[in-house]
Chain A
Amino acid sequence: MSDESLLQPIDGRLGPAHWLPENRAVEMADEVVLRVLGAERVRARPSRWALAAGLVLFLGATATGFAMYALHARKSATPPVEPAPASHTERRGAHAFTEPVVPPTPAPEPEPSPPASDPTPEVAPVRGATPSVRAATSINRGDPRVMLQGANELRTQHRWREAAAAYERISLDFPSSDEAYSALVAAAALYAEHLGRPQRALRLYGQALHQRPDGPLTQEVRWGTIAAERSLGNREAERAGLAAFLAAYPDSLFRAQAEQRLKEMANTP
C-alpha cells in the first residue's frame, strides 16, 4: 500500500481515531453542548433559595480565597483552608485529595489571549452576522461571577458533568477574569474526582498552572496534578510530583499523605 493511496481526504468513517462506543459519543456531544449553551436550569431565573445558597457560596468562597492567598504568600504552617461550602466531602480512591476551592482570586494578573479560532476564508471578520444570531449566541454570556455561582450550584446538586461544563465556559468566555482561574481548577477537580477523566483534569491543571504559576490555588493544582498522574498510572510523574510538592510545601497538611505515598511507591516495583 502506498502513502498516496492511504492519505485520502478526511471523512467521518472509522479510523484513524480509535473506535468510540456510541454512549461515549453521545456523552461527548452533551458536554460540548453544555459548554457552549450551558445547563438549561442555570439559565432560568434563580429561586430565592438558589440566590441565598449562591450568596453563602460566594461569601464562603471569598473567605476561602483570601485564606488560601495568605497561606500561599506566607507558605506558613497554617493548615490549608476548608473547602468552600459548595464543596462536598466525597473522596474517591486515588483522588482522595483536597477539593479545590472556588474563590474569586485576589491580585489579577494579565493572561495570554486565547488562540485565534478560525479566521478562514469562510469566516466573517466580525462576530455575529445578524442581530438575531448575536442575541442568541450571547444569551448565556454574562457576568463571570454569576456564572461561577451557577456552576457552584450545579456542583452542590452533584450534577458533575454540567458543573464541569459550566466552569469551563467561564474560562472560555472570560479567560482573563479572576473567576476563570478558579473555574479551571474546579473543573479539573470534577473531571478527576467524579467524571473519570484524569487526562482532561491534567490538561486543565496545566492550564491553570500556566496562567498563574504562583496563584493562590497553586498548591491545590499541584496536588491535583499528582492525583491525576496517579490515576493515569504515570508512576514516574507521580513520584517526581510528590517530591517536588514536599520540597515546595514542607508544612502542607498533605505532607504525611505525600510521604506515605512515596514510601508505598518505594516498596512496590
Chain B
Amino acid sequence: MTPMPAPHQEPIPRDDPRIARAAAGDRGAAKSLVLTLLPRVRNLVRYLAKGDSDTDDIAQDALVTVLRDLHMYRGTGPFEAWCDRVVARLTIARLRRERSRGTKLSFDDRPDLIPIGAAWSGEHYFERRLLARALDALPVEQRQALVLHYVMGMSVTEVAEEIVVPEETVRSRLRLGKEKLRERLAPGENRGEP
C-alpha cells in the first residue's frame, strides 16, 4: 500500500522520478504523486469554488487531468506551479460551464473538523476556513482574481491572460475584492455566513 505522504511535505522537485514513471504508466508512482498533490489541489479548489461539497469532486477531476497530461510537463518550472495552473484552469472552466448551464451547485459548508491527536498542525486551519467562507461571499470574478494573484502568485498580466480580461479589469477586481474581504474579516463581522 502506498504510504500517505506527510502533510508538511517539501516541494516536489521538478526532476522527481515519480513524474516520469507516472507518465509512463507506473501505477505506484502515479498513486504516490496523486496522494502528495491531493491536499494542495483540494485547497486550491476550495479557494476557487464556493462551499465544500464540490471540492473533492472537482479536485479529483483536476488530478485526472494532471495525471493524463504529465507528459506535457517539460520540467522548466516548478512542478507544483504547473499543477496549480492545470487545476485552476479546470476549476474555473468547470464553474463557468456549470453557471452557463444553470446547474445549481450545492452549497454545503462542512464543519471544521480535524482529528483529535492528529499529527498535523491545525495552526492555520481555522483561519483558512474563515477566509474561504469570506471568499464565498465575494462575486466569483473578484474571488478568482484574488486567488490567482495572491494565492497562486500570478502577476496581473498573467491573471488577465488566464481569465481573458483587460489588465485594468483585473486590477479593479483585485481592489474591490480586497475591500470586501477586509470588511468581511473585520472584527465583529459575522464571518461564517456568506
Contact = CB atoms under 8 A, between A and B. Distances in A.
A110 interface: no
Interface in B112-161: 112-115, 120-122, 124-132, 134, 146, 150-153
A261 B98 CA distance: 29
A32 interface: yes
A29 B120 contact: no
Interface string B22-65: 01110100110011111110111111000011111101100111
A2 interface: yes
B69 A17 contact: no
Interface SS of chain B: helix, strand, loop or mixed?
helix
B13 interface: no
B115 A19 contact: yes
A102 to B, nearest CB: 21
A117 B74 contact: no
Contacts of B37: 12
B54 A199 contact: yes
Contacts of A234: 106
Contact of B153 (A9, A121, A122): A9
A10 B150 CA distance: 9
Contact of A25 (B38, B47, B94, B98): B38
Contacts of A123: 69, 72-74, 82
Given A26-B2, A26-B35, A117-B89, A3 B65 contact: no
Contacts of B190: none
A28 B38 contact: yes
A44 interface: no
A15 B43 contact: yes
B150 A18 contact: no
A247 interface: no
Contacts of A267: none
A122 B125 contact: no
B102 to A, nearest CB: 10
Given A37-B27, A133-B71, A206-B103, A10 B86 contact: no
B106 A19 contact: no
Interface residues of A, number: 61
Nearest to A21: B115
Interface string B80-109: 011011100110011001100101101000
Contacts of A35: 64
Contact of A115 (B93, B146, B185): B93
Contact of A118 (B25, B89, B124, B185): B89
A16 B47 contact: yes
B170 interface: no
A8 to B, nearest CB: 7
A206 B57 CA distance: 14
B106 A232 contact: yes
The interface centre, meaning the residue of B1, B2, B64 with most chain A CB atoms within 10 A of its CB, is B64
Given A26-B2, A29-B38, A120-B86, A137 B55 contact: no
B114 to A, nearest CB: 5
B166 interface: no
Given A10-B43, A10-B151, A129-B71, A16 B131 contact: yes
A129 to B, nearest CB: 6
19 contacts: A1-B185, A2-B185, A12-B39, A13-B124, A19-B113, A20-B38, A20-B39, A26-B35, A32-B63, A36-B68, A118-B72, A120-B86, A120-B89, A122-B82, A127-B69, A129-B71, A130-B71, A136-B25, A200-B57
Interface of B: 1-2, 4, 7-9, 20, 23-25, 27, 30-31, 34-40, 42-47, 52-57, 59-60, 63-65, 67-69, 71-74, 76-77, 81-82, 84-86, 89-90, 93-94, 97-98, 101, 103-104, 106, 110-115, 120-122, 124-132, 134, 146, 150-153, 178, 181-182, 185
